[in-house]
Amino acid sequence: MFFKKKRSASDIGIDLVKFIYPEESLVDGLTELTEEKHRKLSDEIFCLHIFTILFVVKLTLTDTNTTMAVIGSFFETIKKSRDFDANEVLGGSKNRYAVYEQAFYTPHHNGPLWTIGKQFSEFCDCGMDLDVIMMGSIIFAAKYESASKFIKSYKISCA
């Protein structure tokens, strides 16, 4: 019989930060990028990582107190490790979290990976650039899968 190891919500939030740092090689692989476009893509990858982690936490954890404790610890750890403003990244005029979440649930014959990738490309001001759409789709799918497995592998407590 398989028993899940117990971890605190705070520890899980801290560990989830490891899932958000951008893969610079993805951006570097795109040709003919201006410095501004490179920065915009890198920043949006960071935003997509954060959305994905928050989305996974929301879908995976059923207890509101545990969910809030994980998210609180997650954001506190990010704030300590880099210059970060949660309102700027996920709030602001575009409200990225809500827009990405809406994209995920928007029906499309190619599925939610397409709609997330398309939204990612739009946030990057790249429109229907298929390379950027695929990049967003792949990043979301990979982060979603790995973070989901990570969270599900533990019995999480608020203590």
Quote the mean pLDDT of the chain: 86
The residue to which tokens 């610890």 are assigned = 73
Domain boundaries, given as residue ranges, for the chain: 8-153
Contact 116, 136 (CB under 8 A): yes
Would the pLDDT of 151 be above 90? Answer: yes
Please count the other Cβ atoms lying within 10 Å of the Cβ belonging to residue 31: 6
> What count of residues does the chain have?
159
pLDDT tens sequence across 104-135: 999 999 999 999 999 999 999 999 999 999 99
How many C-beta neighbours within 10 Å does residue 156 have? 24
Report d(CA 81, CA 83) in Å as an integer: 7
pLDDT 10s digits, 14-43: 999 988 875 555 666 665 678 888 788 888
Q: Which two tokens stand for residue 69?
A: 């404790």
The two three-digit tokens of residue 28, written as one number: 């570097």
